[in-house]
């Protein structure tokens, strides 16, 4: 068994869920269909009342475990519960509304040499039952020091793409259970990891699918939790860099207001981003303001 784990290390997949019975089966199936077979799946249920148990029981696979926890709305509690009850050398995270391509784990394992502590990749986007052909969630290769690059350029890493060494998660004291950081706890976790290692590896391939739906994180104003997520790490930045980071937060808030069709407030927030800290945000803010003007004619 030790020899098997050396060549094909056990991957513990952490999958929290709550009242996602209609989506959960697809996520589980995508794990079972992996062409890499040495995994265990820890499904951590926040006491759902929609038939989640029956969905899990339909999968007759000894590698699947269903755990229960009352997480009080804190996703970090569920993920930590799954981690502490798992045994794999590597941890992989999968949200219950996302799913993986069959080669996800085998490609990640092939890339996880001794010099890599955390891997991540791209995701296709699914909306209204269709894969968006011209859009995806793309990461990027992070420059060192990784913590500075993550702060200055924003989160390059989607949760359902990550595979990370267990010892690294243990070293950072696990995932934050501060409710103020929800739903930006993923970003906070990568920043914590970047404090202890620069060994991040980006795989520029689509190896999974992200679902956009009404109850998803993308429908929330992430600027508030984003501020909490980055608060403990800002000391590594210069004054100019801090201004750039605050510019990003204003843009996140402005885009949320725009998507919510609160155009007057969105325009006010986006005008705060029209500063020479980040050309990309500057241009995107101008485009958003032009679109607001067109929509409100």
Judge contact between 15 and 43, C-beta under 8 A: yes
* pLDDT, tens digit, 9 for 90 and up, residues 95-154: 999 999 999 999 999 999 888 999 999 999 998 888 888 889 999 999 999 999 999 999
> How far is residue 88's CA from residue 204's CA, in Å, rounded to a whole number?
25
Identify whether residues 205 and 282 lie together within a single domain.
no
Q: Confirm whether 230 is domain-assigned.
A: no
> How far is residue 255's CA from residue 263's CA, in Å, rounded to a whole number?
10
Alpha carbons within 13 A on the beta-carbon side of 55: 21
How many CB atoms within 10 Å of residue 173? 9
Q: Confirm whether 233 is domain-assigned.
A: no
Identify whether residues 12 and 118 lie together within a single domain.
yes
> How far is residue 214's CA from residue 149's CA, in Å, rounded to a whole number?
31
Query: What is the arithmetic mean of pLDDT over 65-91?
Result: 97
Residue with tokens 């990568």: 190
Identify whether residues 85 and 182 lie together within a single domain.
yes
130 φ/ψ angles, rounded to the nearest 5 degrees: -125, 145
Identify whether residues 10 and 141 lie together within a single domain.
yes
Q: What is the pLDDT of residue 273?
A: 83
| DSSP tag of 108 | H
Judge contact between 236 and 149, C-beta under 8 A: no
Beta bridge partners of 273: none
Domain that holds residue 181: 2-216
Q: Confirm whether 227 is domain-assigned.
A: no
Q: Confirm whether 286 is domain-assigned.
A: yes
Q: Confirm whether 222 is domain-assigned.
A: no
Question: Quick one: tokens of 51?
Answer: 């038939």
Identify whether residues 43 and 107 lie together within a single domain.
yes
Identify whether residues 142 and 81 lie together within a single domain.
yes
Identify whether residues 125 and 39 lie together within a single domain.
yes
> How far is residue 232's CA from residue 217's CA, in Å, rounded to a whole number?
23
- Of the three residues 185, 216, 247, the one that is the final residue of a domain is 216
Mean pLDDT check: name the lowest of 174-188, 245-259, 274-288.
274-288
Give the total number of structural domains in the chain: 2
Identify whether residues 151 and 257 lie together within a single domain.
no
Whole-model pTM over 0.85: yes
Q: Confirm whether 165 is domain-assigned.
A: yes
Judge contact between 245 and 237, C-beta under 8 A: yes
Q: Confirm whether 133 is domain-assigned.
A: yes
User: Which CA distances in Å does 218 have to 208, 222, 258, 281?
Assistant: 17, 8, 13, 19
CATH number where 82 lies: 3.90.550.10
* pLDDT, tens digit, 9 for 90 and up, residues 4-54: 456 789 999 999 999 999 999 999 999 999 999 999 999 999 999 999 999
* Strand, helix or coil for residue 267: helix
């Amino acid at each position: 068994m030790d020899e098997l784990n050396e060549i094909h290390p056990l991957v513990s997949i952490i999958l929290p869920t709550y009242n996602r019975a209609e989506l959960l089966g697809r996520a589980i199936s995508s794990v079972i269909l992996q062409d890499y077979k040495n995994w265990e799946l820890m499904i951590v249920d926040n006491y759902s009342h929609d038939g989640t148990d029956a969905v899990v029981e339909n999968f007759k696979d000894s590698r699947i475990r269903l755990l229960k926890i009352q997480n009080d709305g804190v996703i970090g509690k569920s993920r930590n519960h799954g981690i502490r009850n798992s045994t794999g050398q590597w941890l992989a995270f999968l949200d219950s509304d996302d799913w993986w391509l069959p080669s996800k784990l085998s490609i990640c394992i092939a890339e996880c040499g001794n010099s890599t502590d955390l891997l991540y990749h791209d995701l296709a986007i699914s909306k209204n039952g269709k894969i968006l052909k011209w859009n995806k969630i793309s990461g990027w290769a992070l420059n060192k020091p990784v913590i500075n690059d993550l702060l200055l350029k924003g989160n390059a890493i989607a949760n359902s793409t990550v595979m990370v060494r267990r010892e690294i998660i243990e070293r950072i004291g696990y995932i934050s259970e501060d409710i103020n950081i929800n739903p930006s706890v993923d970003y906070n976790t990568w920043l914590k990891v970047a404090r202890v290692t620069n060994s991040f590896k980006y795989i520029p391939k689509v190896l999974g699918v992200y679902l956009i739906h009404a109850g998803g994180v993308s429908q929330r104003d992430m600027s508030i939790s984003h501020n909490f997520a980055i608060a403990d790490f800002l000391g590594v930045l210069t004054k100019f860099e801090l201004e750039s980071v605050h510019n990003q937060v204003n843009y996140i808030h402005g885009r949320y207001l725009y998507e919510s069709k609160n155009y007057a407030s969105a325009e006010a927030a986006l005008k705060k981003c029209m500063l020479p800290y980040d050309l990309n945000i500057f241009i995107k803010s101008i485009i958003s303001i032009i679109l607001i003007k067109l929509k409100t004619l």
